Amino acid sequence: MVLYRNTKTTKPRIEHQRTTLNICIDEPPERPKFMDRSARERRKFITKCEQLTRSSGEYKEYIKYLKSHFNMEHCEVLPAIVNGNGKHYSIEIHHEPFQLSWITDTVIHKRQDLDQSLSPFYIADEVMNLHYEGKIGLIPLSTTAHELVHSDRIMIPLQLVYQRYDQFWDEYEAWIPDYVKDIIRLKVERSQQCNLIQSDVLLDPVVTYVNVDGYEFPTVPDEWQNALARQRIIESGEEPEATESIA
C-alpha cells in the first residue's frame, strides 16, 4: 500500500472580486545611468573592467601571440635586454600612449552616450576587440623600464610604439576625457622633438636626460607632470583646479 498526501481539498473555491485598471504610460521611466555615480565609484568600476580584460583568456593569448610573432621579446627602452640564447628576462607589454584605464574609461563614456549596455563583460569585450583590431598602442618593456614609465620618471617616444593607436583616437575622440587629450598632445609634442638614432638610442639636445644603466632617456617635462597630477586628482574623485586646456 502506497501512502501519499492528498492534495485535493474539499473546501469550496472562493471567488474574489476583480477590478481592472487601465493605465497609459506616455514615457517609460528612465533607467538610472552610471554617470550619476561618484568619481570614486566610477574608478572602482573602471578597475573592475580592467581586471576582466587582463584576466581573460583572449588577452593572455593576444600577449603570447605578440611576443612570438611581432618580436616583442625584447625591451624597447633597454635594447640589451633580449630573451634568447639561454637568457630569460621578464618582458612586459605596456599600453602607450593610452593607458588601459584611459581606454576603458573612454569606452564607458562612449557606451553611456550611445545608451549601450554598461555590463562590465560587454565593456571588457569591446576593449579586447580594439586590441585585436590593432587600434591599441603597445610596447615591450623590461620590468625596470616599465616601473620607471609608470612612476613618470621617463617618457616613451611614440615612434617606438607598435599598432595604430591613432585609429583609436580618430574613432573615439569624442569620448576621450579632456585631461587624457592634454597628456596625449604633450606626448606627441615631445616625441616630435626626439630624434631616434638606430631606433634604440634616444637623443635630443633640447631634452634633459637621466642616465640609467648606461642608457639615456628624456625626462618628463614639467607641463606633463602637471597634466599627470591633474589626472590623479580627477581619478581620486576630488575636484580639480581650473586649468587652461592645451591647444
In the chain, where are the structural domains located? Answer: 37-236
Residue that is written with C-alpha cell 616630435 in the block? 192
Query: Does residue 110 have a pLDDT over 50?
Result: yes
Pull the grid cell for residue 6.
Answer: 492528498
pLDDT score for 100: 95
How would DSSP label each residue in 78-100?
Answer: STT-B-BTTB---EEEEE-SS-H
Q: Where does the pLDDT of residue 24 fall: very low under 50, low under 70, confident under 90, or very high at 90 and above?
A: confident
pLDDT band at 55 (very low <50, low <70, confident <90, very high): very high
Which secondary-structure segment (H or E) carries 122? helix 120-132
C-alpha dihedral sign at 112, 114, 117, 122: negative
Distance CA 151, CA 60 (A): 25
Q: Does residue 120 register a pLDDT over 70? A: yes
Q: How far apart are CA 173 and CA 158, in angstroms?
A: 18
Quick check: 200 and 76 in contact, CB under 8 A?
yes
What are 149-169's pLDDT values in tens digits? 888 888 888 888 999 999 999
- The whole-model pTM stands at 0.67
152: left (phi over 0), alpha (psi -120 to 50) or beta: left
42, burial (CB in 10 Å: exposed 0-12, middle 13-18, buried 19+): middle
pLDDT > 70: percent of the chain: 66
Q: Tens digits of per-residue pLDDT, 3-22?
A: 444 544 455 556 667 777 77
Place of cell 563583460: 121
What does pLDDT average to over the chain?
77
Q: Per-residue pLDDT tens for 220-237?
A: 566 656 666 666 666 665
